[in-house]
Amino acid sequence: MNARKVVYLFFSTLLIGALSGAVVGIVIDPSTYFSGGFLNFLFGLIWILGISAAISLVAQMGYFAYLTLHRFALSLFKTTKLWNRVQIVLIAFVFFDLVYFRYTAFAEGTETILDYMVMPIIFLAFAGAVAYRKKIETNSQAFVPAFFFMFVVTTIEWLPALTVGTVNESKWLWIYITPLFVSNAWQLLLLHRLTKNSGPSLKKKPL
């Protein structure tokens, strides 16, 4: 992949992450942006775009870190099948942690563990949908690695927001997760398009 494609991947991911976070932030909390006049909206928009862009940078670092991990794991486990099984176990483990540990850390009053399952289930479903799309566009071996990346790696990137009590509100959790998830999905579904004419067959490069 040449420098022009790398630059395109970087800036397109930055833009899409920033815009997605800004849209969700405004939709979830419109009063913050529209209640104080034009200047309030302008400065609020610049702020949410900046925050979302910074979050998208975390997503980009996470993606290239996973690409390195993926290649290392394939050489370590020798077979794709074994590495996929390890990833499936880690997906289940992270889903459990995402529900249980947030429940034990933040649950108050009449809240039950079911209240803390809604967002992880939605997140898991969307991650599966993106991974399925990756599989359709490349090959069947891409599903598990793509699912692992979209769910586990995005959760790791999301971890600072999940562990800070001041953002344990639905609004802030969505504002943090949206640019991460959208940026990761964009990178995952774009990379094989950028590299399809510059390397070996996609059947040998599921990510």
71 lies in some domain:
yes
pLDDT at 206 over 80: no
The domain of 114 spans 57-204
pTM: 0.88
Comparison of pLDDT for 31 and 126, the residue scoring more:
126
* Sequence-distant (≥ 6) Cβ neighbours of residue 87 within 8 angstroms: 144, 145, 147, 148, 152
pLDDT score recorded for residue 145 = 96
**Structural domain count of the chain:** 1
Which of 150, 124, 128, 125 lies closest to 207, judged by CA? 150
29 lies in some domain:
no
142 lies in some domain:
yes
> Helix 154-162 vs helix 37-77: angle between axes, to the nearest 10 degrees?
130
pLDDT score recorded for residue 181 = 96
pLDDT score recorded for residue 207 = 66
* Lowest-pLDDT choice from 5-19, 31-45, 120-134, 187-201: 187-201
Most confident option among 48-52, 76-80, 157-161 = 48-52
% of the chain with per-residue pLDDT over 70: 91
117 lies in some domain:
yes
pLDDT score recorded for residue 169 = 66
Comparison of pLDDT for 200 and 125, the residue scoring more:
125
4 lies in some domain:
no
40 lies in some domain:
no
Q: What is the mean pLDDT of residues 44-71?
A: 94
121 lies in some domain:
yes
Alpha-carbon separation of residue 33 from 22, 25, 53, 168, 173 (angstroms): 11, 9, 18, 21, 18
Q: How confident is the model at residue 92 (pLDDT cuts 50, 70, 90)?
A: very high
Residue 133: Cβ-neighbour burial (10 angstroms; 0-12, 13-18, 19+): middle
* Sequence-distant (≥ 6) Cβ neighbours of residue 132 within 8 angstroms: 143
136 lies in some domain:
yes
Q: How confident is the model at residue 52 (pLDDT cuts 50, 70, 90)?
A: very high
